[in-house]
């Protein structure tokens, strides 16, 4: 069996699938047409197919020899972004766009399923093809709760993300912490409203707010080892009704990311440090506060053994010189799977200046170099056979 030859034979179908998905983007847990298309495709391949977690789809392929079970995952949801690429196959759902590469992920996994179904006599074990809804808002945890890792029990899990920040023809992966924990927070600072001409009769929430925004930055530069990356970012401020009125309350929204195991028991615990600063600053300014964290995903930690399997496949597909030891602070709910079973998530470079694939993920002009799709299929195939063998 020559995997590369078969992948190249199916390249036109692979690209066509990606473009069809790109035309029909759907938001998280609203992937109805996408789900139906995937379900029908897998069923025609002769797989056992079921719907799970609202719009999720799972296909199971049983090899003709007994063995372990490996799971491959692709995410399905799009983003609330108005597309500005000008592509012939641009979004037909106004205000919604595949601006993160999920269209390519689905296409790669479907072609992988097709090739593996053609070669099930060579498979020693089982392969689960998981199409996950709502990745942008942490849908993986719901799939885990619904038993996606059971019946049959998954022994290892692999996932690919097409990644524009690195060049086409390269692959980024590393063992251990690979992508950051991500959680959002909402902070309400409560003062006492009043007239801007008589500020001494009010408690101005702007002063503690400004102090907090500056002071919490020392957590990531003065309190936690800089070799343990921590990001505290502010993205939204709400409050006030007029330029001459001191508001009684301000609301600040932001996000926190870090690349290590956190939690209340960790010595770093940036959440506790954050609240300590907020509490003391508010007290100094005679204000009060309410603070709430909204966890999105935990730190994604790649298993050393499955990562070696991916690296071995990468050397075959990309060449050792194009294998990059890569880590980033972006969040990814694939962490919910690797928290339960050994697994590895990795990036396939999809950026290409010559093809104008230069825009960041979630940008209205985001696009990928479609030539890398075949490489993704090869990586899926080799990872499966390397693990099961």
Is 135 labeled as catalytic in the residue annotation? Answer: yes
SS (H, E, C) the chain: CCHHHHHHHCHHHHHHHHHHHHHCCCCCCCCHHHHHHHHHHHHHCCCEEEEECCCEEEEEEECCEEEEEEEEEEECCCECCCCCCCCCCCCCCCCCECCCCHHHHHHHHHHHHHHHHHCHHHCEEEEEEEEECCHHHCCHHHHHHCCCCCCCCCCEEEEEEEEEEEECCCEEECCEEEECEEEEEEEEEECECEECCCHHHCECCHHHHHHHHHHCHHHHHHHCCCCCCEEEEEEEEECCCCCCEECCEEEEEEEEEECCCCCCCCCCCHHHHHHHHHHHHHHHCCCEEEEEEEEEECCEEECHHHHHHHHHHHHHHCCHHHEEECCECCCCCCHHHHCCCCEEEEEEEEEEHHHCECCCCCCCCCCCCHHHHHHHHHHHHHHHHHHHC
Q: Binding site for Mn(2+), residues?
A: 100, 102, 136, 161, 362
Rg of the chain over Cα atoms, rounded to whole angstroms, equals 24
The question of whether 77 is a catalytic residue gets the answer: yes
From 83, 135, 336, 367, the catalytic residue: 135
Q: Give the C-alpha separation, 334 to 167, whole Å.
A: 23
- Looking only at the bridges linking them, the beta strands covering 249-258 and 181-190 are antiparallel
Q: Of these residues, 26, 77, 155, 303, which one is catalytic? A: 77
Give the other-Cβ count within 10 Å of 131's Cβ: 29
Q: Write out the catalytic residue numbers.
A: 77, 135
């Amino acid at each position: 069996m020559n995997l590369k030859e078969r992948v190249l034979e199916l390249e036109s179908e692979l690209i066509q699938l990606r473009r069809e998905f790109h035309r029909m983007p759907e938001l998280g847990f609203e992937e109805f047409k996408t789900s139906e298309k995937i379900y029908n495709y897998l069923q025609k391949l002769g797989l056992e197919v079921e719907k799970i977690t609202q719009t999720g789809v799972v296909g199971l392929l049983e090899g003709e020899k007994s063995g372990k079970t490996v799971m491959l995952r692709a995410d399905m949801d799009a983003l609330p972004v108005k597309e500005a690429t000008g592509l012939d196959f641009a979004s037909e759902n106004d205000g919604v766009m595949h601006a993160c590469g999920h269209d390519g992920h689905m296409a790669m996994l479907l072609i992988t399923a097709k090739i593996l179904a053609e070669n099930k006599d060579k498979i020693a074990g089982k392969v689960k093809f998981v199409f996950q809804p709502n990745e942008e808002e942490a849908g993986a945890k719901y799939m885990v709760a619904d038993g996606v890792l059971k019946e049959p029990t998954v022994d290892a899990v692999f996932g690919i993300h097409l990644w524009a920040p690195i060049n086409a023809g390269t692959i980024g992966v590393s063992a251990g912490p690979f992508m950051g924990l991500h959680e959002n927070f909402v902070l309400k600072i409560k003062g006492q409203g009043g007239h801007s001409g008589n500020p001494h009769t009010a408690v101005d929430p702007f002063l503690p707010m400004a102090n907090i925004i500056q002071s919490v930055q020392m957590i990531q530069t003065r309190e936690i080892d800089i070799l343990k990356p921590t990001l505290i970012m502010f993205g939204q401020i709400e409050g006030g009704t007029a330029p001459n009125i001191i508001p009684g309350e301000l609301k600040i929204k932001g996000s926190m990311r870090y690349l290590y195991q956190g939690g209340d028991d960790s010595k770093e615990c940036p959440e506790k440090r954050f609240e300590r600063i907020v509490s003391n600053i508010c007290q100094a300014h005679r204000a009060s506060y309410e603070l709430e964290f909204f966890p999105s995903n935990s730190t994604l930690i790649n298993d050393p053994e499955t990562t070696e399997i991916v690296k071995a496949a990468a050397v075959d597909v990309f060449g050792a010189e194009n294998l990059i030891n890569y880590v980033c602070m972006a969040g990814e709910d694939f962490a919910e799977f690797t928290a339960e079973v050994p697994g590895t998530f990795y990036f396939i470079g999809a950026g290409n200046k010559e093809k104008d694939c230069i825009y960041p993920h979630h940008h209205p002009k985001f696009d990928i170099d479609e030539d890398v799709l075949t490489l993704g299929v090869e990586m899926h195939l080799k990872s499966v056979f390397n693990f099961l063998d």
